[in-house]
Structure 1
């Protein structure tokens, strides 16, 4: 049964990422930041010194390694995303195997795959890489806490913090909180607790030192500290989707669907997007509180001490991961939701006729997953040969945008994108500036904007991609918007070539249309 399940999971994941037999789909997203940064590192640039990045370089190193072996190709990115999906599926299955029997073992992983995977988890960025390492640390300790397992778990969390700095820290925090709770249950032995904490923390800090020291030395302490500490404290919260007010902001607006589609099709399309978004918003962190309440009310811990300890471990790790997200966006919440999905299924198991309900849920999820496979493979697509390889595009609008860029550029040329680095990776273009994104807020401080302008003056690209909503007079700019000097440089030296109608998701923070500016002769 396990082999059959993993075969089905592989088929589902592969068909969401590749048009059979081997053509990769092209997905825009934050993983394009990591791939373009990896390209710069392979060209000899030093991260944090020559270009800015807000996270440790772990993800960039993974892609740099893959690209050095296989070349800078779209299919390499999709294989990385496939491996992440398989890793999360395997970890979910492993947690379930330690707690459930029968069909319940496969229900959490089926929920992960069928509800929201293709909307929220097709992501090869630092977020998912770091989550995999923290969950792997939890998996190592779930069955038995030994010095060896604690050292492995600490090392895993160290690697997580080499990918996303707070992730490993909250992972360590969750494990330590659990160790304190578990030690208390056994009568509180301080010596044992301190010893276990040392095994865990020493391996964590050792991995941190080993992984960070090379880049700290070459980038310089000032650059390193600003990128990984000061920026996150002072500037990062100014991004609308990078703070706590982002909760529920990604629920789409149904009225805008009605303006474009027929009522029935609008409802269907809205449900496919809104349901997984709402599911994860409600799941994290509320499922953990529901579990703790039920555990206290029904004294479920008396039924099986071994299962209760494992559930408490997942609950504590899940809560600390939830507390550690930088913003309450659905993407960030869903990525740390695996422990919550397992606990949700345990809660389901407590109600009458749970076996029958589990069977029905598995059948429905299997049908839904199969329908996604058929829909993905049979939907009309556009194919484009790019320097990074052939890829399939779902949207004709997106395809036309990439096709035009491909016709206007050559690999190795300078090109600048202000809002998001979409084109560097597929067309092997070079960003002449130290920033891969700018924002119209204090997210991008004035000195960084000035560094972008200086770089564009030294190596002016032929084309610049610029969001139309940032084209405005100085008196229309909000407080903290430092982009006026960059806009003045573009307006003086470039002329508007055309506008791309950017595909939007009908949420408050949709990007909007993109202007392409061409350098004046």
Structure 2
């Protein structure tokens, strides 16, 4: 059953608890639709100003999305995922970029438009989910919080965000009207989510199962009803995932797919490493706002989810409480938060925080903290952060440069590297950027290695290091871009936990240093290779 929230002043269900009120759900008409359109137009303008230097030059983006750009570029060149190049996530994101590159070419305009469209779609979903449990004006505030505090910080078309969008879509489909057909559609969307991030979709499926069990206990439904729901959810999830994965199972076999997506992830990706729980580093006082913003999200998400689940348990009987929407959102959000905690960083946590933002505003509204002055302060803070983010994006990326993938705007350090590489390479040429695959798409260069990059010390298994050396020799790769964080090229001493030593020794014997950038990154060219005039 779907409960609308209506305003009945004075209605109190528990004298010791915050007042739960039921408010009339605003009618959806022409005026409401106009407000939604204006909201999404505002979202589009904000994102455009943070993704493009006026009038139409894309900023050069980074972060995890560059892996999928590189993979799509490889597939466009005939490469086979899991066979010719390494990947440990499902191929959903790679295929999206592949389809777009086929249609629009290897353009950085295309990649930035992906982030723009995904942001608009995510904000729309945030708004409609919030509108189920809070007043419409509070739903607008929720969307602004998500846009500026979360998405505006990421601007990353990575698999986490595609997967999270599908999961929250499943939540929306189910809570709108919980028929068996909608349960199947929700399961289908969870299957789609697993085709982008295998763990996200599976964990969200588990959250739905717990929700079904809790709902059966709450409403004293027969066990057969629970089994029917689980059957339809499982049917949608399993069939969808099998259909999407079928071409890859037929090509490489389920054992190899299982190895990369499950076993490899368990050995090399999930184990936590020491550090600041994935928080962004602080190199100067200018990094404090970004660091403080991340700490705020780290702190409020677990508090909001735990507090919400406690209230769902305590107030599971009152008919006025929007139990289904709130409980399902909090369970899905909580399960996803626990999942990413096994290998925590701010990108993963931000990507699955949409439900937490909605529940935060719901709590504020339920506890009557959404006073006019408090709302005004929140809007001022959000607007100030949005302006600061936009100005920073333009100040930090003032240089424009023409590249094979189109004109881009970037920072001084990246400009120097791109300019040097443009003068010494040509599109289609081999390059191995050892520490970070950011150069391939902008310069339309090709990574001939099976691995996407080399990790310091023991981060890359010894067999992958040996394969990299072999492929550098067989393919006679002309340039290697070496990063200082992979260890000094002069340090060839054998250390038990430094798997990169053989690669450094090979480069010393077959390559010569040609150029060093101010950040310590070095370009090494193969002995006897003639550089581009």
Distance 1:201 1:246, change over 3 A: farther
Q: 1:152 aligns with which of 185, 190, 194?
A: 185
Aligned-pair CA distance for 1:218: 1.7
Distance 1:380 1:54, change over 3 A: closer
After TM superposition, the structure 1 = structure 2 runs for residues 44-63 of structure 1, keeping only pairs within 5 Å, are 44-63=78-97
Distance 1:487 1:244, change over 3 A: closer
Q: 1:82 aligns with which of 107, 116, 136?
A: 116
Aligned-pair CA distance for 1:177: 1.0
Gaps of 5+ in 2: 1-34, 529-533
Q: Counterparts of 1:42 and 1:251 in 2: how far apart (Å)?
A: 34
Larger radius of gyration: 2
Q: Counterparts of 1:305 and 1:280 in 2: how far apart (Å)?
A: 30
After TM superposition, the structure 1 = structure 2 runs for residues 321-470 of structure 1, keeping only pairs within 5 Å, are 321-325=336-340, 326-356=342-372, 357-374=374-391, 376-377=393-394, 381-393=398-410, 395-469=411-485, 470=487
Q: Counterparts of 2:189 and 2:404 in 1: how far apart (Å)?
A: 36
| Cα deviations by residue, 1:455-478 (Å, 9 ceiling, x for unpaired) | 111112221011223225354645
SS of equivalent residue, structure 1 residue 385: strand
Distance 1:249 1:230, change over 3 A: closer
- Residue 101 of structure 2 corresponds to residue 72 of structure 1: no
Q: Counterparts of 1:416 and 1:352 in 2: how far apart (Å)?
A: 57
SS of equivalent residue, structure 1 residue 162: helix
Aligned-pair CA distance for 1:304: 5.3
Q: 1:139 aligns with which of 169, 172, 176?
A: 172
Q: Counterparts of 2:515 and 2:273 in 1: how far apart (Å)?
A: 36
Q: Counterparts of 2:376 and 2:280 in 1: how far apart (Å)?
A: 30
| Cα deviations by residue, 1:88-138 (Å, 9 ceiling, x for unpaired) | 21111111100011421112211112224333x211111111111111111
Residue in structure 1 matched with residue 212 of structure 2 by the alignment:
179
Q: Does the CA-based 8 Å contact 1:251-1:278 persist in structure 2?
A: no
- Residue 41 of structure 2 corresponds to residue 7 of structure 1: yes
Q: Does the CA-based 8 Å contact 1:500-1:515 persist in structure 2?
A: yes
Q: How many residues align?
A: 490
**In terms of mean alpha carbon deviation, does 96-105 or 352-361 score higher?**
352-361
Residue in structure 1 matched with residue 491 of structure 2 by the alignment:
473
Residue in structure 1 matched with residue 521 of structure 2 by the alignment:
514
SS of equivalent residue, structure 1 residue 124: coil
Aligned-pair CA distance for 1:227: 1.5
Residue in structure 1 matched with residue 59 of structure 2 by the alignment:
25
Q: Counterparts of 2:190 and 2:276 in 1: how far apart (Å)?
A: 27
Q: Counterparts of 1:236 and 1:310 in 2: how far apart (Å)?
A: 33
Residue in structure 2 matched with residue 194 of structure 1 by the alignment:
227
SS of equivalent residue, structure 1 residue 52: coil
- Residue 127 of structure 2 corresponds to residue 109 of structure 1: no
Instruction: Compute the TM-score of the two structures, normalised by the length of structure 1.
Output: 0.89
Aligned-pair CA distance for 1:371: 4.7
Distance 1:2 1:355, change over 3 A: farther
Instruction: Compute the TM-score of the two structures, normalised by the length of structure 2.
Output: 0.87
Residue in structure 2 matched with residue 252 of structure 1 by the alignment:
281
SS of equivalent residue, structure 1 residue 49: coil
Q: Counterparts of 2:164 and 2:73 in 1: how far apart (Å)?
A: 24
Q: Does the CA-based 8 Å contact 1:59-1:125 persist in structure 2?
A: yes
Q: Counterparts of 2:209 and 2:70 in 1: how far apart (Å)?
A: 36
| Cα deviations by residue, 1:343-376 (Å, 9 ceiling, x for unpaired) | 1112212334523212431243234324544554
Q: Does the CA-based 8 Å contact 2:312-2:326 persist in structure 1?
A: no
SS of equivalent residue, structure 2 residue 322: helix
| Cα deviations by residue, 1:482-521 (Å, 9 ceiling, x for unpaired) | 212211111111111222244xxxxxxxxxx322111122
Q: Counterparts of 2:357 and 2:399 in 1: how far apart (Å)?
A: 36
| Cα deviations by residue, 1:180-216 (Å, 9 ceiling, x for unpaired) | 1112111032111111111111111111111112112
Aligned-pair CA distance for 1:75: 0.6
Q: Does the CA-based 8 Å contact 1:236-1:443 persist in structure 2?
A: no
SS of equivalent residue, structure 1 residue 435: coil
Q: Counterparts of 2:74 and 2:422 in 1: how far apart (Å)?
A: 20
Q: Does the CA-based 8 Å contact 2:190-2:237 persist in structure 1?
A: yes
Q: 1:232 aligns with which of 252, 265, 268?
A: 265
Q: Does the CA-based 8 Å contact 2:93-2:159 persist in structure 1?
A: yes
| Cα deviations by residue, 1:301-359 (Å, 9 ceiling, x for unpaired) | 56654523211111001011112225121111111111111111122123345232124
Q: Does the CA-based 8 Å contact 2:399-2:409 persist in structure 1?
A: yes
| Cα deviations by residue, 1:377-419 (Å, 9 ceiling, x for unpaired) | 57761111111111111x2111111111111110010100111
Residue in structure 1 matched with residue 18 of structure 2 by the alignment:
none
Q: Does the CA-based 8 Å contact 2:458-2:500 persist in structure 1?
A: no
Residue in structure 1 matched with residue 300 of structure 2 by the alignment:
283
**In terms of mean alpha carbon deviation, does 343-352 or 286-295 score higher?**
286-295
Q: Counterparts of 1:127 and 1:405 in 2: how far apart (Å)?
A: 31
SS of equivalent residue, structure 1 residue 419: coil
Distance 1:477 1:92, change over 3 A: farther
Residue in structure 2 matched with residue 98 of structure 1 by the alignment:
132
